[in-house]
Amino acid sequence: MSRLHPTALIFSGFFLLGLLIILWGVLLPDLNHELGMSAAQSGWFFLVMALGTVSGAYLGGKYVQKFHFLPLFAFLALTETVILLAISLAYQAWHLLLGIFFFGLFCSVMFTIGHTLIARLHANKRAKMMGLMDFMFSLGTLAAPFLVVVMYWWLPDWRWPLRLLALLLVVLAMYALWIGRRVEADPAAEPAPRHSLSYKAVLKQPVFVALALAMFGYGAVEWGNGNWFVSYASSALMYPTEQARLIFAWFTGGMVLSRLGFAYLIPYLGATSLLRLLVLMMLAGALVLKLADSSWVLSAGNLLLGLGLGGVYPLLLATAMDLAPQQGPVLSGLSNIGGSLGCQLAGLGTGLWANAAGIGTAFWMLPLVALWLFAAVWLFSQRARAAQAAASI
C-alpha cells in the first residue's frame, strides 16, 4: 500500500495533538474562573497531565509493538474523544484533574505510534519526515490561540473548543480505520509482532542512556523558556507583557523554521555534526536571553534558541532509530519520558527558585539546562558515531 495515507494520517494527528496540548494553557483562565480553581490547583492540573504523559510514554514504548498500529491509533483517538466530551461536562475541579490524567496518558501513546510509524515508513529519509511531523505539531500549537479567539466570537464558552476537537478526532479515527482495512487487505502486509519491548535492554547501551539525558535537557530548555520567558521579560526586565509576548514569538518562529529546514543540511554535515551545530546555536541563544536586555537582542536570542532547538528532538530520535530500527516504540517512549521530566524540572525548579530569589535570578535555570543539553548531545553524538563505526565493521 502507498505510504501517502498513513503519512497524512499521522501528520493530521500530530496537528490535532499540538492543538489539544497547548489548548489547556489558552483555556486555563476560563477553567479557573468557572470551576473555582485556585493557583495551587492550576499547578496540579499541569503536573497531573505530565504524570499521565510519562505513564503513557512508558506503556506505549513497551506494549504498542504487540498491536497493529492503525487500529490502535483509531481506538486511542476515539478514547480521547470520550475523554474530551467528559471534560467538557465537568463542573468540579477533581473531574478535570481525573480527565486530564487520562488525556495525557492516551496522547502520549499516540505520539509513540506516530513516531514509530513514520520512522518505519520513511526509513530512507527518517530525519526529514520526523522533522516535518514535528513541524505539524508546532503548527497546531500556533493555531490553538486563533481557534479559541474565533470560536469565542460566537460561543464564548471553554467547553465548545473541546467538543469541536472531539469531533475532529472522530474523523481522524474513521480515517485510521479505513487505512487499516486497506492494509489488512494487502497480501504483502506484515503481521503485527506479538511481543513487548524492554526499556532495560535499551538502557544497557550507553548511546541510549545519552539519548535519555539529552531528551531530559531538551524538555527543560523548551518549556523553561516557553513557560517563563514572558514572566522574566515583564517582571525582571520591565517590558510590557504584550511586548514580551512578541519578543517570545521569535522563539516559536525559530522552532518552526528549524523543523522545516534542518533535514536539508544533513547530506552536507551529517546527522551528528548537525546535532552539535544546533545545540551550539541553542546554547548561545540561551546565554543571550539571560545576559541581554535590549528588545532587539532578546528577539535575536529567542530566534537563535528556536533555530537551534527546533531540529534537535526529531534529529536525536531519528538518529537513535537508525541505530536500532526495531526498538522504535521504546526509543520514542524513552524520549517522551525524558522530555516530560525535563519539562517538570524547568517548570517547578524555576518557580521554586523564583519564590526564593526572584525571577531575574531564577531565569539562570535556562542557561544551566541549555548547558546540560549541550553536553548530553555531544555525548550522544560521540556514542552514536562509535556505534555506527562498530556496525559497519
Q: Amino acid identity of 80?
A: E
Give the residue from 370, 86, 357, 72 showing the smallest Cα distance to 216.
370
Give the residue from 330, 332, 331, 339 showing the smallest Cα distance to 309.
339
pLDDT in the model for residue 145: 80
pLDDT in the model for residue 87: 95
Measured CA to CA, the distance from residue 67 to residue 196 in angstroms comes to 10
Measured CA to CA, the distance from residue 331 to residue 379 in angstroms comes to 17
Q: pLDDT tens digits for the chain (393 residues)?
A: 578 899 999 999 999 998 998 888 778 778 888 888 776 677 688 788 889 999 999 999 888 888 889 999 999 999 999 999 999 998 888 899 999 999 999 999 999 999 999 988 988 888 889 889 988 988 888 888 888 888 989 988 999 999 999 999 999 999 999 998 887 655 445 555 556 778 888 888 999 999 999 999 999 999 888 878 888 998 899 998 788 888 988 988 898 899 888 888 888 888 889 999 999 999 999 999 999 999 999 999 999 999 999 999 999 999 999 888 888 889 989 999 999 899 888 877 888 888 888 889 999 999 999 999 999 999 999 999 888 877 766
| Angle ∠(313,319,325) on CA atoms, nearest 5 | 115
Give the residue from 162, 158, 153, 75 showing the smallest Cα distance to 110.
75
pLDDT in the model for residue 110: 96
Give the residue from 343, 365, 344 showing the smallest Cα distance to 354.
365
Whether 330 contacts 278, CB under 8 Å: no
* Beta-strand runs (E) in the chain: none
Measured CA to CA, the distance from residue 323 to residue 205 in angstroms comes to 11
Residue 239 has phi, psi (to 5 degrees) of -85, 150
Measured CA to CA, the distance from residue 110 to residue 12 in angstroms comes to 12
The pTM of the full predicted model, rounded to 2 decimals, is 0.85
pLDDT in the model for residue 194: 57
Dihedral class, residue 157 (left if φ above 0, else alpha if ψ from -120 to 50, else beta):
beta
Whether 2 contacts 67, CB under 8 Å: no
Measured CA to CA, the distance from residue 353 to residue 9 in angstroms comes to 42
pLDDT in the model for residue 30: 84
Could you tell me how many residues make up the chain?
A: 393
Joined together, the cell numbers standing for residue 150 give 474565533
Whether 76 contacts 165, CB under 8 Å: no
